[in-house]
Amino acid sequence: MIEGNLMKSIPRSAVVTGAARGIGAAIALRLARDGFAVGVVDLDADQCAATVASIEAVGGKVAVAGADVSRSEEVAAAVEQIADQLGGPTVLVNNAGITRDNLLFKMSEDEWDSVLGVHLRGSFLMARAAQRYMVEAGWGRIINISSTSALGSRGQVNYSAAKAGLQGFTKSLSAELGRFGITANAIAPGFVVTDMTRASAEKVGLSFDEQVEKALVKIPIGRPGRPEDVANVVSFFAGEDSAFVSGQVLYVAGGPRG
């Protein structure tokens, strides 16, 4: 009860990166439905129109900032702009991501650096820029989107290293920020139907249906993931009911992982 009242006085402002489409768009909409004003960050602000429309359609408040999360000045400007428009963010979802798959012997340094740059450096820069608002509020939630690829994935040494790195990052954030009322958790989705998985299928010369069929062999629940499956878990980690859960990695993969 006390915590519920406390929650009402905390700025209900969230930032979601990579929210123009896919999982990020579903997370942004879900947080808006949960009552958060949502700052939508993506490379190109114009690409966020559909996400903005979906949030406005449910009566939500939204602000958009175009930023490359791997660039510190752009991150600082985006977080400041969202804080000005919606109030300092107390929830951050580090979702922006890319893949640059290749076998090790063919992987370029650029493929390695760009993937590590978006996932790891991007999450670090966003968390560093947003934490001060959470510390001020004495309440915060940082949610990092990892992947089952963290457990090892052929052709993805860069992505897998980044997603495993995010898990360590999450645990260290939780150790450092708990005293300020801030939790940090990671979600590690399995196969989710988005443009990213469509592009991966294309890259290995499979039709999307063939790719889904291949993925289903490892999914006891018997269907591929949907962006909303991830958004539902974000909703839990962003809310008051998860107040005593921090530094965890929750696999959202339709079966056992981790």
Nearer to ligand NAP, 170 or 194 (CB): 194
Length of the chain (residues): 258
Nearer to ligand NAP, 137 or 188 (CB): 188
Nearer to ligand NAP, 86 or 253 (CB): 253
Phi and psi based region of residue 116 (left: phi greater than 0; alpha: psi -120 to 50; beta: remaining): alpha
Closest approach, Cβ 96 to ligand NAP, in A, equals 4
* Candidates 36, 112, 159, 251; catalytic one: 159
Q: How far is CA 167 from CA 9, 147, 160, 181, in A?
A: 31, 9, 11, 20
Closest approach, Cβ 79 to ligand NAP, in A, equals 13
Q: What whole-number distance in Å separates Cα of residue 36 and Cα of residue 207?
A: 38
For ligand NAP, the binding residues (CB under 6 A) are 17-18, 20-24, 42-44, 47, 68-70, 95-98, 118, 122, 145, 147, 189, 191-192, 194-197
Closest approach, Cβ 215 to ligand NAP, in A, equals 8
Nearer to ligand NAP, 139 or 148 (CB): 148
- Of 5, 10, 68, 2, the closest CA to residue 238 belongs to 10
Residue 87 near residue 11, CB atoms below 8 Å = yes
Strand partners of residue 250: 187
Beta strands in 89-195 (DSSP E): 91-94, 140-145, 182-189
Q: Does the annotation mark 251 as catalytic? A: no
Nearer to ligand NAP, 22 or 165 (CB): 22
Closest approach, Cβ 17 to ligand NAP, in A, equals 6
Strands ordered across the beta sheet of 91-94: 62-66, 37-42, 13-17, 91-94, 140-145, 182-189, 249-252
Q: What whole-number distance in Å separates Cα of residue 16 and Cα of residue 18?
A: 7
Closest approach, Cβ 6 to ligand NAP, in A, equals 31
- Known catalytic residues are 159
